[in-house]
Amino acid sequence: MIRQPNQFAHSFKSISRFRKIVGVVLGVGYAVILYAFQFLLRETLRIASTSEFNEMWLLSEEEVGFYNWFAAALSLLIGQSICLAYWFSRPKRFKERGIRSRSTIINDQRFLQTSFLMWFLKLGFFYVIFFGLTWQNNTGYLVFSFYPTFAIILILVILVLFFQSWNTIRVKFKQKSYKWMLFAFFALGLTSWAMSKINVVDYEAANESILAENIWYTYDLQLPEVDNWDEPLYYADYIEPYLYYRKTEDTAANAIWVRHDRRWRPAYDRDNYAGFSSSCTKPRDYSNTDIRLYIDKRIKMRIVSDILSDFRDKGAYHVSFAVLPLDAPYPPACYHGNVINTNIPFEYENQEDYLASKARWDSIPNQIQIKHDKMGECNVNGKAIKYEYLANELFELMIVNTDFFIEYIYSDELPFDDYIQFKVAANEAIIQVKDFFTWDERGKAYYELHWGNRESYDKEYPLRMRRVSESFLLAQ
């Protein structure tokens, strides 16, 4: 005689009411605790992602809702396993019929709990490493997110775990278990949606407290946008960032603010400019320091000159100007490594000093004069040149005779953004000159050479330039 399969309904009815209640309490309690743990873990990762500029991992309302749902569904699945394992467990002394089926279910549920928790811990470790520690200076979350592009992966994880949790029950009890599995599916779906509406902590308050000092959210900083930039210097021991910007609510063109090392202090234009305060932490050796300047592109060059003078007086030699890629697809925090490297220019104290220097450099055969007025027009040897053609124009003048010298005369009222456009063009032109000779002599582009070989070309084809303000020349 063929034995009829056990009926899931009969097995369920054999469980006492007390045991049912305890199983539900255990499952729900475990689910709530695990949901709270996942929520707090996510918020911990977000807070840990905060950078020195108070940039943090921000989630949209849609992302918060989706991640909450995933955590709730995952917690309820583990809670369901706890509940089923408790319901079908019996003391070993009861050798009743069907004990093998119950043991299989119990082992299956316990294995699901243990194996998934181990998998979850591994995933959590992987998540911390790649999102919290390594990717692009702790900003990987700005360029990658599971939602919405890869949301299907997390949805499939929940579906696979659900059907796996009912696999043994379905095999043992056949078609009679399907309606219970369907009921559990909709119950878990509805409950996970309701649980996802619960925020364990006020994450919006955390966002506001951290972003209160975020330069991109609270203050009005607009960096120059360029289509070509440099890498940070490889020999710099450390970087000291300074930010010069205007307050969002400040409409005065001469009110400039500076931030350094989480300490805020005001600075003003030429007449009462506070400058480089001695209260700032001075590094041991400025020669090995990259002074990273975040300067608003609307600030006038007379203020930028004062800023550079302050650093030069303190012994700093090299600075880099932070820039953003043109039409950047990601938030500014992704581009802290995009800079324009430059040396702090020498500043002439008086007319005699300037004329003495001019006499020394005027002997160079290839003289290039560039006048940059306050309207942003760049005049090269008496010819007005647009920025998009400036690099090629300079290259054509340089390659005629590589023993050249540039006199760059700028207006004090020239916006910093226009100055950066000139710097980018000049840097691109000198690289074209070096490329011209490296291809001819070595069959490679300049940047394809080893850094030691590049140094020899840097010495042979330097970008020699005298920078002087228009107001200085007029005042003499």
Side-by-side strand order, sheet with 404-410: 383-385, 378-380, 366-372, 404-410, 465-469
**Residues 317, 355 within the same domain:** no
State the Cα–Cα distance between residues 100 and 3, nearest whole angstrom: 15
**Residues 50, 117 within the same domain:** yes
**Residues 236, 175 within the same domain:** no
Domain range enclosing 355 = 345-476
Q: Which two tokens stand for residue 404?
A: 């050249």
Query: Is 333 a member of any domain?
Result: yes
**Residues 198, 129 within the same domain:** yes
Query: Is 427 a member of any domain?
Result: yes
Q: Residues 361-387: pLDDT tens digits? A: 888 999 999 999 988 889 999 999 999
State the Cα–Cα distance between residues 26 and 78, nearest whole angstrom: 11
User: DSSP assignment of 291-320, as one string?
Assistant: EEEEE-TTSBHHHHHHHHHHHHHTT--EEE
- Please count the structural domains in the chain: 3
Q: Which two tokens stand for residue 76?
A: 């309820």
How would you write the pLDDT of the chain (476 residues) with one tens digit per residue? 444 545 555 566 677 888 888 999 999 999 999 899 889 988 988 887 787 778 888 888 999 999 999 999 999 998 998 888 888 776 555 455 556 666 666 666 666 666 666 666 666 665 665 555 545 455 677 777 778 888 898 899 899 889 888 887 777 766 667 888 898 999 999 999 999 999 999 999 989 888 887 877 877 788 999 998 987 765 555 667 777 876 666 666 666 777 665 433 344 344 434 444 444 444 445 666 778 888 999 999 998 998 888 888 877 888 899 999 998 888 888 887 899 998 888 777 777 777 787 888 888 999 999 999 988 889 999 999 999 999 999 999 999 999 999 999 999 999 999 999 999 999 999 999 999 999 999 999 998 998 888 989 999 999 999 999 988 887 66
**Residues 389, 474 within the same domain:** yes
3-state secondary structure 190-216: HHHHHHCCCCCCCHHHHHHHHHCCCHH
**Residues 14, 48 within the same domain:** yes
Q: Which of 156, 182, 211 is the last residue before a domain boundary? A: 211
State the Cα–Cα distance between residues 356 and 362, nearest whole angstrom: 10
**Residues 233, 175 within the same domain:** no
pTM, whole model, 2 decimals? Answer: 0.73
| pLDDT for residue 76 | 94
Q: Residues 25-52: pLDDT tens digits? A: 999 999 999 899 889 988 988 887 787 7
**Residues 131, 76 within the same domain:** yes
**Residues 207, 241 within the same domain:** no
Query: Is 2 a member of any domain?
Result: no
**Residues 144, 60 within the same domain:** yes
State the Cα–Cα distance between residues 148 and 186, nearest whole angstrom: 23
